[in-house]
Amino acid sequence: MRVLVVEDFEVLARTLGTGLRREGMAVDVVLDGDDALERLAVTRYDVVVLDRDVPGTHGDDVCRRIVADRAGSRVLMLTASSTVKDRVEGLGLGADDYLPKPFDFAELVARVRALGRRPTALVPPVLECDDLTLDPARRVASRGGRRLDLSPKEFGVLECLLAAQGRPVSAEDLLERVWDEAADPFTTAVKTTVRRLRTKLGDPPVIHTVREGGYRVGAP
Amino acid sequence: MRVLVVEDFEVLARTLGTGLRREGMAVDVVLDGDDALERLAVTRYDVVVLDRDVPGTHGDDVCRRIVADRAGSRVLMLTASSTVKDRVEGLGLGADDYLPKPFDFAELVARVRALGRRPTALVPPVLECDDLTLDPARRVASRGGRRLDLSPKEFGVLECLLAAQGRPVSAEDLLERVWDEAADPFTTAVKTTVRRLRTKLGDPPVIHTVREGGYRVGAP
DNA sequence: CGTCGGCTGACACCTCATTGACACCGGCGG
DNA sequence: CCGCCGGTGTCAATGAGGTGTCAGCCGACG
């Protein structure tokens, strides 16, 4: 779990950093609001532990920005003031939790952990065609329920062809999509890979050849 | 927003019901744990405000069931006892927030609202796969009942892999999640750590390699 | 303050699936 | 019947990934 600690009181900041690290989290620490925004622009954090009163951009504004960014970071607000009014305000800003100082470290950890239980990443749809299925996220393909053991290039080519939904894909396109960098146009790589794919896919044939046009999977 | 209030003290229950309704939420109220489970089986709630000490099925068990069901409800635990230990325990059960009595109504509302905004936590508090279990909160992992003695990095990597639920996790992702700051992309750290993990996990192998795709735990 | 031991990550080396070139074959269209 | 485009068989080079080892670092402990 990736955590950003925004806290200007150096001793506390360091303590939080090492403490959370000991809990197995990947922790970055910054001492003011401006640095926080900078880090947030670069890296995606699961949880931001945010002192409300930090130099530079105010904690409230940092919080607003995080919420507005919709990057999916959860915010745990940390403050000296602990009136109910403050707490309600903080939560109203979009913070997901609120912990008044002084706090117990074990509780902070528990709350950060609760915030960090991520929703499973959105699954890109599973590609299908007849009895063929391919799951890009899991990197698994199967035909008629039987798992296919595909090499990376084979998998990539099949993925492209399935994604094209019946439209033919030229060798050049495949080269560009599946192979990195611009490979020389006279390569036989695609040809060879498609052949191996066909062998592994078995009968009846799934990959059709479109003369001069490349390869196609499924109805045109 | 749909809310279920589970509270046996009738006066408080009624107050919560009307109060939350006044805030524009759709509220159902039940007086004990068994009724709570019944309602939960029928209706999908965004947030469950759960008194820990209710008649019938205990609040802790209701909480566990909610989390296990993965129906997407968030839990706000409510209790008379307010020691840090209690709070940490409650959050460890999978509750998303914890509010000790007596509480301020405005704060309760703010917290319920915050929970409603939050994307559902779909990752259970204790990760499992076959005979492998890992408890992030207690920092304990075991296989077939036998405790594993893992280093922090090893633990972190295994945690990530289990949380991915069968999807492969790339070395870059692992680097980003488990190691802090931007580690250089050519590091051999992940490779080394995975090897040590494999050794400690023993047979049969749990961590599978997905060529060009990283590592995977469990069935795809 | 020195030493010990565990944790980490780099390096060198090994292995083998993967990959792509080459040479040759076959069938279809003109 | 001929020319091409594409399919096949084969093989050597490649490089991703696994393993053994070692040294630096840091905290624990005497």
Query: Residue A23 corresponds to which tokens in the numbers above?
Result: 């809990």
Within 7 Å: CB of A174 and strand D? no
Model pLDDT, residue B102: 87
B window 15-54, beta carbon within 8 A of A: none
List chain C nucleotides near protein: any atom < 7 Å from a Cβ.
6-12, 17-23
Residue A123: pLDDT over 70:
no
Model pLDDT, residue A155: 96
Query: CA A20 – C1' D9 distance (Å)?
Result: 58
List chain D nucleotides near protein: any atom < 7 Å from a Cβ.
5-10, 16-21
A113 touches chain B (CB under 8 A): yes
- Dist. CA A9–CA A27, nearest whole Å: 16
Give the C-alpha distances (Å, rounded to integers) separating B39 from A203, B1, B44, B62, B207.
Answer: 51, 16, 9, 11, 40
pLDDT in tens, chain B (220 residues): 899 999 999 999 999 999 999 999 999 999 999 999 999 999 999 999 999 999 999 999 999 999 888 778 899 999 987 788 888 888 989 899 999 988 999 999 999 999 988 776 667 788 999 999 999 888 999 999 999 999 999 999 999 999 998 899 999 999 988 987 767 778 999 999 999 999 999 889 999 999 999 999 988 7
Average pLDDT over residues A121-128: 76
Within 7 Å: CB of B177 and strand D? no
Residue A218: pLDDT over 70:
yes
CB-based contact A138 B166, cutoff 8 Å: yes
Model pLDDT, residue B27: 95
Residue A82: pLDDT over 60:
yes
Residue B145, number of CB atoms within 10 A of its CB: 7
Long-range contacts of B150-155 (CB under 8 A, 24+ apart): B150/B197, B150/B200, B151/B196, B152/A21, B152/A22, B152/A24, B153/B178, B153/B179, B153/B189, B153/B193, B154/B193, B154/B196, B154/B197, B154/B200, B155/A24
Model pLDDT, residue B72: 80
At B114, is the secondary structure helix, strand, or coil? helix
Q: How far is B54 from chain A (nearest CA, A)?
A: 23
B window 114-153, beta carbon within 8 A of A: 114, 117-125, 136-137, 139, 152
Model pLDDT, residue B121: 60
Nucleotide in closest CA–C1' contact with B196: D19
Is the N-terminal amide bond of B119 cis, ω within 30° of 0?
Answer: no
B window 59-78, beta carbon within 8 A of A: none
Displacement of CA B148 from its chain's centroid (Å): 22
Which of B84, B106, B176 has its CB closest to that of A84?
B106
